[in-house]
Structure 1
């Protein structure tokens, strides 16, 4: 017999026993859909976590922190060491950053907001995957570059007060709370405009104090507040696929070192007593090194450490998370396999019952010359076809389940940016995997009935019938 003949016989038997075929196919469909959804769940978690990690942790970057100056010579981030780092092999770019504290600002006369001031070389921003939505880093010594979050949530004081009052008075109104929170995500046109920075030393951590206040609120109450007009020379583009909460919680203004020096002088004039606590532009808070490939990060990191500098990279975190993702996939995949194993029991029972119901057919085939191998092949092909049918239904069922889960998450997720069009997804390679296990389940489940059928005594089977 040809394999096509086995296929025709198998299809004929599946058509004859519609109820049994439907029940067995349903069991395989549920099992294969379970393993597809389970593996997709683990894959989606890994993908989502890696995407989130990619926004916060760059695996091709090395961060150098300022060491303890009392720990020995060469611990600080000096200009000579930075030049040595720039000359190292596989180093694409080096940028230094000095945190200047938080500042309030006003723009267009009445609109207010807050930003975290960071001194850096503006030209280096593009080398670290910062793209400009408006403007460029070459805006002049009095120009600042705002990140994507700094232009959001900028509104006048009265709007801010009304918004806060409505949120307090309508805490149980979910729809209204959602609309009020969305105000933080609305961008305000700031490019090429003049923003007034309020400079002072009143807040903890070197902050500038709330906008519009006459003093900084120090314990002594003697610090003055001064204003510094600057021009918005550029606005950074939102990183691709960045979550919304990351956007409106991250408000930064990058200032060139020349402007940073003026800011520090104004802060010294505003509060001379706090001059000793101000940051030094000669000692960056941190330096970030961009490496041409993640394969060379460890090598460059080792060379930098030889300069007696404290470094940190995210390779170990990536390896740790990859190990955790493997465990997640194994757990969910194992759960799906267990469900598929339970479903295979029904196939074994149904196919075994089929051998008793078809004893006469088997006996006649043996009398006509069918050997044991052909009898076994007939049952195994039939169970494999049952697996194909169940696996196909399982693929359709798994897509329905994934669509339903995504719909529930997007409907009840809540919060700006929490809902995404596709939280859970099925990668292309998972579908063949689900079909493979479905067919494998059918074949393995048909082995025992096939052996049982091949051992049927032909004469006895015909006489009993």
Structure 2
């Protein structure tokens, strides 16, 4: 018998036993859909987690800090051999595979005044403003420029500004404290209404304590040239209490520190600004070169930190997640295979006369077995195709639920859960394999049927 003959006989038997065929197909469809959805869950979790890990952990970046030598302590005479200096920064930038390197100086927590009526506080960092986009910072308004009289604000810096006239009164402070407590405990939703600061002139304010115990206020006017993009996936409550940051140029940082040192009269604070830095961020391409670049930087007597070890450990965890989801789908498919064994065994009992006649007409044992195995494989194929369609419906429904339950729906999360193309043939293969394996026992039993006994019992 040719394969075409087996297919015709198998299809004819499936059409004759519509109810049994439908039940078997449904069982395999549920099983194959389970394994497809399970693998999709594992793949989606891995993809989403890797994307988030790459975004937050910055696996292609190296953070460089001052070394751990004896000269790590502040030195009024200038930087030591374990400090990050201009020379070392230039050397880092000249290393192979280094795409960008930017130095950072912590200026401190400053107050700012906008429109002479609103005040806020920001944690200010000095760096090369032109390198901010290279390290993945996106902007909602404007773009950074390399000037000394400009500032780049985070999105959270535009939130929660206080009224300057009433902020110093005791009643205003108490009212604000009560409102923040209500927001923390969930009794009140934070009203995120960013204050329009883009392209406005604001004044950075630093209060200096003089030697006689009095205070002096220093002001530095700057223009807001860019505001960072609102962080995705963060609730309003989280944004309300998030750290408010800003970036300025190293030149402006020098002016602030020199003015502060001059006002305080502290000679020990007259450290040469710009000759050494608090830290350096290094962007490396390709990612595979991070370990080698990290080793070269350490030879400069500097400390480094990267997220390669965390990436490797999380990758191992993702493999475990895939195995768990895939194992759950295989177990469900195994349970579904029992229905095929039962159905094909019943079919063998019901078709004893047909099998007996085929043997009398010359059919051998192998042909009888092949007939039942092909029939089971066709059940697996039909169940697998139905399971793939059912899996797409399930994934579509889950995505709708996840999107509607999200606090900040966006086009980026329109397909949170997805089915990769490689999962489809794998799901179909397991469905057919289940059909074939489930049909082996009934096929062997059918091939051992005694022809004369079967014909006499059915006669």
Q: Could you say which TM-score interval applies, normalised by the shorter chain? A: 0.7 to 0.9
Task: Please name the residue that 1:328 is paired with.
Answer: 321
Task: Please name the residue that 2:278 is paired with.
Answer: 285
CA change 1:166–1:125 in 2 (3 A) is closer
Runs of at least 5 residues in structure 2 that lack an aligned partner in the other structure: 73-79
Task: Please name the residue that 2:16 is paired with.
Answer: 16
Shift, 1:138, TM fit? 2.6
How far apart, in 1, do the equivalents of 2:312 and 2:71 lie? 31
Q: TM-score, normalised by structure 1?
A: 0.83
CA change 1:281–1:347 in 2 (3 A) is same
**1:46 maps onto 2:60 in alignment:** no
Can you list the C-alpha shifts for 1:10-62, whole angstroms capped at 9, x where unaligned? 22222222222222222212211221222222222212211221221222221
**1:113 maps onto 2:106 in alignment:** no
Number of residue pairs aligned between Structure 1 and Structure 2: 440
Q: Which residues in structure 2 correspond to 1:59-98 (within 5 Å)?
A: 59-70=59-70, 74-98=81-105
CA contact (8 A) 2:68 2:303 kept: no
Can you list the C-alpha shifts for 1:132-157, whole angstroms capped at 9, x where unaligned? 55444335211112244434555757
CA change 1:39–1:194 in 2 (3 A) is same
Task: Please name the residue that 1:231 is paired with.
Answer: 223
Runs of at least 5 residues in structure 1 that lack an aligned partner in the other structure: 203-214
CA contact (8 A) 1:100 1:279 kept: no
Q: What is the root-mean-square deviation of aligned Cα atoms in Å? A: 3.4
How far apart, in 2, do the equivalents of 1:124 and 1:413 lie? 33
Q: Which residues in structure 2 correspond to 1:273-352 (within 5 Å)?
A: 281-352=274-345
CA change 1:101–1:461 in 2 (3 A) is same
Task: Please name the residue that 2:27 is paired with.
Answer: 27
CA contact (8 A) 1:200 1:270 kept: no
Q: TM-score, normalised by structure 2?
A: 0.84
Q: Secondary structure at the match of 2:203?
A: strand
Q: Secondary structure at the match of 1:244?
A: coil
Q: Which residues in structure 2 correspond to 1:95-244 (within 5 Å)?
A: 95-138=102-145, 140-152=147-159, 154=161, 156=163, 177=188, 180-181=189-190, 183-184=191-192, 186-200=193-207, 222-237=214-229, 242-244=232-234
Shift, 1:259, TM fit? 0.8
CA contact (8 A) 2:376 2:435 kept: yes
Q: Secondary structure at the match of 1:89?
A: coil
Moved more, 128-137 or 225-234: 128-137
Shift, 1:383, TM fit? 0.9
**1:7 maps onto 2:7 in alignment:** yes
Task: Please name the residue that 2:454 is paired with.
Answer: 461
CA contact (8 A) 2:151 2:246 kept: yes
How far apart, in 2, do the equivalents of 1:82 and 1:141 lie? 21
Task: Please name the residue that 2:388 is paired with.
Answer: 395
How far apart, in 2, do the equivalents of 1:442 and 1:106 lie? 73
CA change 1:274–1:318 in 2 (3 A) is farther
Shift, 1:171, TM fit? 8.8
How far apart, in 2, do the equivalents of 1:254 and 1:167 lie? 27
Can you list the C-alpha shifts for 1:297-339, whole angstroms capped at 9, x where unaligned? 2221111111111112222221111111001111111111111
How far apart, in 1, do the equivalents of 2:129 and 2:182 lie? 44
Can you list the C-alpha shifts for 1:170-200, whole angstroms capped at 9, x where unaligned? 99988xx5xx33x33x444322211222323
Moved more, 380-389 or 365-374: 365-374
Task: Please name the residue that 2:77 is paired with.
Answer: none
How far apart, in 2, do the equivalents of 1:3 and 1:189 lie? 74
How far apart, in 2, do the equivalents of 1:221 and 1:395 lie? 76
Moved more, 394-403 or 39-48: 394-403
**1:434 maps onto 2:424 in alignment:** no
